[in-house]
Chains A and B, each alone.
Chain A
Amino acid sequence: MMQTLGPILNSAVVIMTPLLLAATGGLFTELSGMLNIALEGLMLIGAFGAIVFTHYSGSMFIGILAGILCSMLLASLIATVSLYLKANVFITGLAANLLVSGLTVVLSFKLFGNKGVVSFVNIPQLPLLHLRWIEKIPVIGNLLMGHNGFVYFSWLLLLLCNFVLYRTPFGLRLQASGLHDQVLVSLGLRPAHYRFIAFLVSGFTCALSGAQLTLNLGAYVPNITAGKGWIALVVIFLGQKRPFGLLVAACIFGLADAFSNFAQGSWDIPADFILAIPYILTLVAIIGVSIYTKRKSRIG
């Protein structure tokens, strides 16, 4: 049992990281009162940008920075169009997602003459962190060690996010713009301002989330995000819009995914069905949570 549990836990942590990162940024837009469905697109452009620029510059650091820049540019475009030009944020987000999925294919073909999988053999590998004394602890050692920098950064970011949202004036105002934006207006503050920043934050974290996907793989696969941005949205709701709720929710999805990867190789169940497990879980979780919250607020 231990032999299988260890690797499952370890891969669960790796799988949950992009979800957690995207959800962390998405939490900012969500609390500011904007439904940010562009998480998927922001991830994808970050993923593409990061690996392409790593390839050209030879430096992973520059690659990641460039990925972040691409994603934040797109985020500011979405924010400008929906906040200042007053377009419907849902439509803008949808447009952004479609734009990115098309743009990456076009660019991939232009740059590498390939619309399919582009693998980069010359780029450096993501370094993994190993600390012997922690690794010796059973189960937890596997959980905590042997991951790449993104994993640890995502945890750090979550702590930072918790601090910013609940312990700073900015966080207070951000929440206020989501709860009752007219209050801010009556105080002479601009809700759009805080929402814009929230979009930038979501661009930042989504880029990291996407970068981890491609850099970990050393290749760009078309549509590599495969709905993870949408699941990140689910993670936000499932996590009750609380930073540590996100951690728990992302963990559940990470485990489900890791389990389905494991089951695929070991059990005699159709692979398609097993691969669908995370998505079925999404559905079940949403229904479960909405029943729960309805119960909680129901009268009579």
Chain B
Amino acid sequence: MLMHDVSEKAYPNDRMIRAVQMDNITKIYEETGTLANNQVNLVLHKGEILCLAGENGAGKTTLMKILYGMERPDTGSIAIYGRRVHINSPLEANRLGIGMVHQHVMLIDDFTVAQNVTLGKEPIIHAVAYDEKRAEQLVEDIILRHHFSIIANQLVSSLSIGQKQQVEIVKMLYRNVDILILDEPTAVLTEQEIRALFVTLRSLIEQGKSLILITHKLNEIKAISDRVAIMRQGRMIAEAKTDSVDEYEISRMMMGKNVGSNIHKPSPVLSGRREIFRVSNVSVIKRDSGNPLLNNISFSSYSGEILGFAGVGGNGLTELEGILTGMLSVSQGTLEYRDTDVTKADTRKLRAMGMAYVPGDRLHTGVALEATVGESLIIHARHRLSRIGFMQRKKLAQYYRTLSHKYAIQGSMHMLTRMLSGGNIQKLILAREIDQWRDLIIFSEPTWGLDSASSQFVYDQIWLLKEQGAAIVLISSNIDEILSLSDKIIVMHRGKIVARFNHSTNEVTKEKIGTYMLGLAHQGATDDD
């Protein structure tokens, strides 16, 4: 009984095989002196889905980068299927059967799916040539076997984010990995895409693969994982069977304290609302492509109201952000700001009129990474803080102290901005933009990549602004965020407005919005505004 029967009945026993065992892993980043992993232990059994949970900066990604050979641990050991190994590069990890799908897709847009998948391990013909045909054949086989929705000879630039992620998974399957790490795979996906991803993950498990999912979304942990491992501040806090813990326990372990249910449904502010910004029939057309990036968009933003825009990446949200902030010029239509025509106005003029803007690309548009924290903070107010062209250092320091205190920005004003954590950079931008705000503020992906404490801070600030009567435009691919903040919701698909909801009067669900985001449904010409 013990000897031969290892085929199908062995499945329950498989769970006892340790695919990965990491012992006492410690990693210190010397540049910043942070202790990213502090004597961490982790076990992954064969055939299971393990969720590695924790706040941002808890050390999850570092631990997985160590397993994938991208970082070297300072101490500790790793065993794969019981055999002790040193993993010095992703290439070696691949050889050991370990693969990783990164949070930001690592793909070359100008290459085809097959080229991206086979890169680094290309099939060869005539001794030296790249065998494009065979590459496409091999990739197509994997795609068919796993029912992915991509085509091998498609250009990656034409794919949605969900499909790009499929390419990443195919890339790993092509390398015959059987231990797959996915770093926050659902961060940029819609509800439907997430469900499709989960089906894929399940089918991978059935084929005998073992998976580690990095995530901090509680519902996903419950929905997909067999076991959960929770990290906090570089330490492994707990490992448990997912069935044996509930979401509150997980979140308590992740954060060290219970999260209050701070997300409240917004109350409509109706009295004395004024139209602040009006967009009429705006289109943005790229010259050499037929499809407009924005197609005949009309809406208004009112004071004391949060107007949420939901959509999947590549469906016009970026362009919307661009036209609202004067970074992108419109092809047709008009923009009005407090009854002034600002169709041709640039960012400088809009900001002078009182628009504030918290950009989605906070590292490039939001701050200058090589500037000091002080410089990043005062850049909009430099005229106020200078006399005959010279900065007044005292005034500047005073200004910095006030703002950094008010918004709890850590670090000193002479530090380089890039040394700050993502959460602190966002606080810095918020501080500056709220200081700049007069009646209109535009937020794009305000909590993207932030942990829940920082996100909560951002939400609090947004509510505060709303109470003060700001007209707020919130552009976000995070449906939860849109649902919990917005008074009105507009859903975009392929550059068009496909749905409008009045959140304060109508029942809106995540699924409903997701359906529109994916273009599976379209509201008629009437809207319930």
A and B physically associate: yes
**Residues in A lying within 8 Å of B, measured CB to CB:** 163, 167-169, 171-173, 175-176, 179-180, 182-184, 186-189, 295-300
- Cα of A172 to Cα of B135 in the assembled complex, Å: 13
The answer to whether A189 touches B120 (Cβ under 8 A) is yes
- On whether A183 and B110 interact (CB within 8 A), knowing A296-B288, A300-B284, the answer reads no
Alpha-carbon distance A298/B11, docked complex (angstroms):
57
Name the residue of chain A whose CB is nearest to the CB of B332. Answer: A300
16 A-B contacts (beta carbon < 8 Å): A168-B129, A169-B124, A169-B130, A172-B115, A172-B119, A179-B108, A183-B106, A186-B106, A187-B119, A187-B120, A188-B69, A188-B94, A189-B91, A298-B287, A300-B284, A300-B328
Instruction: Please give the distance in Å from A15's CB to the nearest CB on chain B.
Output: 33
| B107 and A299 form a contact (CB under 8 A) | no
Instruction: Find chain A residues with CB under 8 A from B330 CB.
Output: 300
Residues of B within 8 A of A300 (CB): 284-286, 328-331
Question: 7 tightest CB-CB pairs across the interface, nearest first?
Answer: A188-B91, A188-B90, A169-B122, A187-B120, A300-B331, A188-B89, A186-B106
Closest CB-CB distance, B351 to chain A, in whole Å?
Answer: 21
Shortest beta-carbon distance from B310 to chain A in Å: 23
Residue of A with least CB distance to B286: A299
What separation, in Å, do the CA atoms of A169 and B125 have in the docked complex?
A: 10
Residue picked from B119, B284, B328, most chain A C-beta under 10 Å: B119
Give the most central of A187, A295, A296, A299: most B CB within 10 Å.
A299
Residues in chain B near residue A167, CB distance under 8 A = 129-130
Find chain A residues with CB under 8 A from B236 CB: none
Q: Is B81 an interface residue (CB 8 A)?
A: no
The answer to whether B102 has its CB under 8 Å from any CB of chain A is yes
In the complex, chain B residues 275-291 whose Cβ is within 8 Å of any chain A Cβ: 284-288
How many whole Å from B149's CB to the nearest CB in chain A?
A: 22
Q: Besides the contacts A176-B108, A300-B330, what 8 more A-B pairs have beta carbons closer than 8 Å?
A: A163-B129, A176-B119, A179-B108, A180-B106, A182-B106, A187-B91, A189-B120, A299-B286
Residue from A168, A184, A188, A296 whose CB has the most chain B CB atoms within 10 Å: A188
Inside 8 A of A296's CB, which chain B residues have their CB?
287-288
Task: Please name all residues of chain B whose beta carbon is closer than 8 Å to the beta carbon of A295 when the two chains form the complex.
Answer: 287
Q: A185 CA to B509 CA in the complex, in Å?
A: 41
B407 within 8 A of A: no
Asked whether any CB of chain A lies closer than 8 Å to the CB of B293, the reply is yes
Kindly provide the distance from the CB of A20 to the nearest chain B CB, expressed in whole angstroms. Answer: 24
At the interface, yes or no: B270 with Cβ under 8 Å from chain A? Answer: no
Q: Find the A residue at minimum CB distance from B123.
A: A169
Which of A163, A182, A183, A299 contacts B119 (CB under 8 A)?
Answer: A183
Q: Complex: how many Å from CA A298 to CA B100?
A: 36
- List of A residues within 8 angstroms of B115 by Cβ: 172
Shortest distance between the CB of A184 and any CB in chain B (Å): 7
Q: How far is the CB of B509 from chain A (nearest CB, A)?
A: 34
Determine whether the beta carbon of A173 is less than 8 Å from that of B293.
no
CB distance from A148 to the nearest CB of B (A): 29
Which chain A residue lies CB-closest to B175? A187
Q: Provide the B290-319 mask, 1 if CB < 8 A to any CB of A, else 0.
A: 000100000000000000000000000001
Q: Which residues of B contact A180 (CB under 8 A)?
A: 106-109
CA distance A184 to B107 in the complex (A): 9
Does B520 make an interface contact (CB < 8 A)?
Answer: no
A50, B94: Cα distance in complex, Å? 47
Residue pair B92, A188 in contact (C-beta under 8 Å): yes
User: Is B111 in the interface zone, CB < 8 Å from A?
Assistant: yes
> Please, which residue of chain B has its CB at the minimum distance from the CB of A300?
B331
In whole angstroms, how far apart are the Cα atoms of A172 and B116 in the complex? 9
Tell me the bound Cα distance from A300 to B287 in angstroms: 7
Question: In the bound complex, how far is the Cα of B329 from the Cα of A179, in angstroms?
Answer: 27
B2 at the interface (CB under 8 A from A): no
Return the CB mask of B68-97 against A: 1 if under 8 Å, else 0.
Answer: 011000000000000000000111111000
| A184 CA / B106 CA spacing, docked (Å) | 9
Complex contacts, A186 vs chain B, CB 8 Å: 70, 90, 100, 102, 106
A179-B108, A183-B107, A300-B330 known; A173+B119 contact, CB < 8 A: yes
B128 CB within 8 Å of chain A: yes
Q: Tell me which residues across on chain A come within 8 A of B108, comparing CB atoms.
A: 175-176, 179-180, 183
Say yes or no: B106 contacts A172, CB within 8 Å. Answer: no
Chain A residues contacting B109 (CB-CB under 8 Å) are 179-180
**Which of B70, B92, B120, B124 has a CB less than 8 Å from the CB of A184?**
B120
- CB nearest to A164 among chain B residues: B128
Interface string of B425-452 (1 = CB under 8 A from A): 0000000000000000000000000000
Complex contacts, A171 vs chain B, CB 8 Å: 130
Q: Once bound together, how far apart are the Cα atoms of A298 and B331, in whole Å? A: 11
A80 CB to closest chain B CB (Å) equals 22
Q: Which residues of B contact A173 (CB under 8 A)?
A: 119-120
Report chain B residues within 8 Å CB of A172.
Answer: 111, 115, 119, 122, 130
Q: With the chains together, A67 CA to B18 CA distance in Å?
A: 60
Tell me, rounded to whole Å, the shortest Cβ–Cβ distance linking B321 to chain A.
13
- Compute how far the CA of A51 lies from the CA of B90 in the bound complex, rounded to whole angstroms: 48
Contacts of B120 in A (CB 8 A): 173, 184, 187-189
Min CB–CB distance B375 → chain A (angstroms)? 23
Assembly CA distance A118 to B239 (angstroms): 80
Once bound together, how far apart are the Cα atoms of A169 and B121, in whole Å? 8
**Interface digits, B176-192 against A, CB 8 Å rule (1 contact, 0 not)?**
00000000000000000
Give the distance in Å from the alpha carbon of A167 to the alpha carbon of B119 in the complex: 13
Q: How far is the CB of A187 from chain B (nearest CB, A)?
A: 4
Return A163 CB to nearest CB of chain B, in Å.
8
Q: Which residues of A contact B116 (CB under 8 A)?
A: 183
| B329 closest partner in A (C-beta) | A300
Contact A176 B111, CB 8 Å, known A183-B119, A299-B293: yes
A158 to chain B minimum Cβ distance, whole angstroms, is 18
Residues of chain B within 8 A (CB-CB) of A299 are 284-287, 293, 319, 328-329, 331
Residue in A closest to B129 when the chains form the complex, CB atoms: A167
Q: Which B residues are in CB contact (< 8 Å) with A298?
A: 286-287
Query: In the assembled complex, which residues on chain B have CB atoms less than 8 Å from the CB atom of A189?
Result: 91, 120
Complex CA distance for A173 and B286, rounded to whole angstroms: 31
Bound-state CA distance A186–B167 (Å) is 14
**Could you say which of B70, B92, B100, B130 has the most chain A C-beta atoms within 10 Å of its C-beta?**
B130
Instruction: Fill in one digit per residue for B320-333: 1 if any A CB lies within 8 Å of its CB, else 0.
Output: 00000000111100
Q: How far is the CB of B323 from chain A (nearest CB, A)?
A: 9
- In the bound assembly, the distance between CA atoms of A183 and B104 in angstroms comes to 11
| Complex-state Cα separation, A187 to B328, whole angstroms | 36
Question: Please, how many angstroms separate the alpha-carbon atoms of A167 and B116 in the complex?
Answer: 15
Contacts of B251-290 to chain A: CB distance below 8 A: 284-288
Complex: A295 Cα to B286 Cα, angstroms: 10
Chain A residues positioned under 8 Å from B69 (CB to CB): 188
Residue on A nearest B171 in the bound complex, by CB: A187
Given contacts A172-B122, A300-B330, is CB(A187)–CB(B90) below 8 Å? yes
Residues of B within 8 A of A188 (CB): 69, 89-94, 120
| B182 CB, min distance to chain A CBs, angstroms | 14
Q: Give complex CA distance A169, B331 in Å.
A: 42
Q: How far is the CA of A168 from the CA of B90 in the complex (A)?
A: 23
Residues on A with beta carbons closer than 8 Å to the beta carbon of B128: 168
Q: How far is the CA of A187 from the CA of B331 in the complex (A)?
A: 41
